[in-house]
A and B are shown apart, each in its own frame.
Chain A
Amino acid sequence: MGRAALLRSQSPAWWAERLREMLRIRHFEVRAEEAYRQGEIGGFFHSYTGQEPIQCCVVSIFGVKNWYITSYRCHALALLLGATPDELMAELFGRAPGNAKGRGGSMHFFTERLLGGFGIVGGQIPIATGAAFAVKYQGNDDECAICFLGDGAVAQGTFHESLNLASLWDLPCLYVIENNHWGMGTPVQKAVAVPRLAEDKAGGYGMKGYTINGLDFFACYEGFLRIAQEMKKERRPVLVEVLTERLRGHSISDAERYRSKDEIALLRENDPLIGFSQELIHGGILSQEEYDTIDREEKMRVIRAVQYAEKAPWPDPSELEEDVF
């Protein structure tokens, strides 16, 4: 589909909503990082900045009513699946009305259909496979499980075991490898023996594998649209590699000594959020003023979430030992 035809395939309001989601995620990460640096947030903190098109496209195409599973880089997915900036920011601040009552923190967000934010690299892949098993077991043929993992997780044993089981048992699971090229500070080519993480691997499991450009929202959208149609028909697992860039370090404490300032500057020039918004404006989908309004609204929403979190009560220590069993 050409770009113009693609833009016409959805209403301007639909595209504006995607932009709003991307901006919400971006502002959330920026403000949360600020709060972290001010000492309001503790623990690990992994920003989704730069990778927004991937989960925005997947959730908008597949819909909320599926089982979602991701790694510790989980802020965006929780927002996309309906968690409010307030509850998520309160969780980061470790407060009682937080998304997980202040027990999970940055790496462990949940919604009705988000089974987690999982903290161990690759640990979430069998979980997603199990959600797909449950969907198939109950004959919920309009649903599937969607598992996000990083390029670093491809080297884990759970990746192999899960894909083997999913293919063997025809489980409707979409595995999305978000290849941001770095497993913490180790480049992917020093971690995985083949260059194409999905296309070179999928065949070994009798699955289909695709590569998608995650820096281009429209390419991402078209790619996942095709995959969604295919999964609906075939009810089989699919492995996808999305080429992306994380514009921030692995985590907030990452000094990024493994890549140069010039490299990072170049990445920022290719920020998919800028590219996407400019195409919408140039394509006549929305005006600069409309963009500014959405941007301001989402920024204010996140600022209010920070204010909410600052004032939210701390967890009551008398509830410390609840919910263990």
Chain B
Amino acid sequence: MIESKVQVQRVEMREAIRQALDEEMARDDRVVILGEEVGEYQGAYKVTKGMLEKWGSRRVIDTPITESGFVGLAIGAALTGLVIPVVELMSFNFSFVAADQIISNAAKMHYMSGGRFSVPIVMRGPNGAAAQVSSQHSHCVEAIYSNLPGLKIVAPSNAYDAKGLLKSSIRAGEPILFLESELSYGEQMEIPSEEYLVPLGRARVVREGVHFTLITHGRMVAVALRAVEQLQQRGIFAELLDLRTLKPLDISTIAHSVRKTHRVLLVEEGHAYGGIAAEMAYQIMEHCFDFLDAPMIRICQKETPMPYSMVLEKETLPNVERILRGAEDLLKRCR
């Protein structure tokens, strides 16, 4: 048997994303980067470091602070099929300024035109909480946008997935919101040096387990993993799923796990009301009702705008302690 040794590199998540952009730009001349501070400034979070120097101002385009303008422009350029824009939103909170363009144009044009036009565009950037940036810079947007047929929503939790999923997103030929996390950009991981893709629409089993299924996405995967490891020391084995793509939801992987463990704990960085966890709970009820041994539990951000104070911020977000309490409750519950 021949063992092929995979060459690996240790990179931060921001570098993995940069490599995805770089490789896709090399592959297809239509791919451009567009956004605030992506060029000269090297990116607000240095994701596009060195890209202007390498690709020039034709393909790495600094925009003024004009979200409705440049997001709409990118959608229009994508509609022609002549350009595949990767738009960096410095924060996904700024996508609200461009909401009409994203919602009325990007999401709907393929369907509404009878399938005549497509909108091959990726909008990417940090989503959710960072370090004490208060109410207007901390919102998790996935629940809002997942209510709109026509948008696919991707949220990588680590460098490997970030690179592979972004490459797949750029090739998808449809509008994709690619949600990153400011707090994860510096996290390091070994990833292959060779090119690879991660398919859209498939969740990943992070940890196999038997006692309950813990489902989450994005930055919360790392938080949940810490809780899962603590539980393991107490002899409780949770199966941890990372959604990776929030829409379309990989209900097949979810159902497979739930039918094995019979209990579900949902963790979401965003708010509880109308959230991703709420949708998942409904779909799990639809597909796995007879397999559930207890009502599901969700641990989400509490129903307040994000407060500034460190103490309050910690309290409103899901954290290891809240997840552990949720797990204990779940295991105590009977049908």
Binding site for B on A (CB under 8 A): 67, 69, 98-104, 108, 110, 115-116, 118-120, 123, 125-131, 133-135, 137-138, 140, 145, 157-158, 161-162, 164-165, 168, 322-325
Measured between beta carbons, the chain A residues less than 8 angstroms from B202 are none
> Is the pair B73, A123 in contact by a Cβ cutoff of 8 Å?
no
> Is the pair A123, B100 in contact by a Cβ cutoff of 8 Å?
yes
Q: A126-B70, A133-B73, A137-B82 are in contact. List 8 more A-B contacts (CB 8 A).
A: A118-B104, A123-B104, A126-B71, A127-B76, A129-B69, A135-B82, A137-B83, A158-B101
Measured between beta carbons, the chain A residues less than 8 angstroms from B71 are 126
CA distance A104 to B100 in the complex (A): 18
For B, the interface residue count at a CB cutoff of 8 angstroms equals 38
Measured between beta carbons, the chain B residues less than 8 angstroms from A67 are 80
Q: CB-defined interface of B28-65 with A at 8 Å, one 1/0 digit per residue? A: 00001000000000000000000000000010000110
Identify the closest chain A residue to B110 (Cβ): A323
> Is the pair B152, A325 in contact by a Cβ cutoff of 8 Å?
yes
> Is the pair B79, A130 in contact by a Cβ cutoff of 8 Å?
yes
User: Shortest Cβ distance from A201 into chain B, in angstroms?
Assistant: 16
User: Shortest Cβ distance from B118 into chain A, in angstroms?
Assistant: 9
> Is the pair A161, B110 in contact by a Cβ cutoff of 8 Å?
no
Measured between beta carbons, the chain B residues less than 8 angstroms from A110 are 113-114, 116-117
Between B32, B64, B68, the greatest number of chain A beta carbons within 10 A of the residue's beta carbon is seen for B68
CB<8 Å pairs between A and B, sample of 29: A67-B80, A99-B114, A101-B115, A103-B112, A103-B114, A104-B113, A108-B112, A115-B80, A118-B104, A123-B100, A123-B104, A123-B105, A126-B75, A126-B101, A127-B75, A128-B76, A130-B72, A130-B76, A133-B73, A133-B76, A134-B77, A137-B58, A137-B77, A137-B82, A137-B83, A138-B83, A165-B69, A323-B110, A324-B150
Q: Which of B68, B79, B82 contacts A138 (CB 8 A)?
A: B82
Given contacts A108-B112, A110-B113, A110-B114, contact A130 B74 (CB under 8 A): yes
Between B79, B83, B100, B114, the greatest number of chain A beta carbons within 10 A of the residue's beta carbon is seen for B114
> Is the pair A130, B104 in contact by a Cβ cutoff of 8 Å?
no
Measured between beta carbons, the chain A residues less than 8 angstroms from B149 are 324
Q: CB-defined interface of B70-95 with A at 8 Å, one 1/0 digit per residue? A: 11111111111011000000000000
B135 on the A face (CB < 8 A): no
Identify the closest chain A residue to B172 (Cβ): A325
User: Shortest Cβ distance from A5 into chain B, in angstroms?
Assistant: 38
Q: CB-defined interface of B144-157 with A at 8 Å, one 1/0 digit per residue? A: 00000110100000
> Is the pair A129, B80 in contact by a Cβ cutoff of 8 Å?
no
B109 on the A face (CB < 8 A): yes
> Is the pair B69, A323 in contact by a Cβ cutoff of 8 Å?
no
User: Shortest Cβ distance from B31 into chain A, in angstroms?
Assistant: 11
CA distance A31 to B152 in the complex (A): 41
